[in-house]
Amino acid sequence: MNIFKIFQYAYLVFAVLFLYDAISKWNNDRMGAYISLGFAGLGVFMFFFRKRFNKKFNNRDPKQ
């Protein structure tokens, strides 16, 4: 398992943390909850983006 896979799954961990933060802030601070939801969505997006990018990077043809 290379280091890029670890960072790929770190985005999911941060998305879960921001989702928990949004749920805990929902009744008291709506604006902060929306910001946390935005970061959670960004984390999920980055997970799939990095997954696709790593797949393309690993399947490239060596130019030697």
Encode pLDDT of 26-36 as tens digits.
999 999 999 99
- 24 found inside a domain: yes
- 62 found inside a domain: no
This prediction's pTM? 0.82
Short-list 22, 48, 51, 44, CA closest to 35: 22
- 32 found inside a domain: yes
- 23 found inside a domain: yes
- 20 found inside a domain: yes
Range of the domain at 28: 9-57
What burial class does residue 36 get, using C-beta atoms within 10 Å of its C-beta: 0-12 exposed, 13-18 middle, 19+ buried? Answer: buried
Q: How many domains does the chain have?
A: 1
- 15 found inside a domain: yes
- 64 found inside a domain: no
Q: How far apart are CA 23 and CA 30, in angstroms?
A: 10
Provide the CB-side half-sphere exposure for 26 (13 A, CA).
7
Q: How far apart are CA 55 and CA 41, in angstroms?
A: 21
Mean pLDDT of the chain: 90
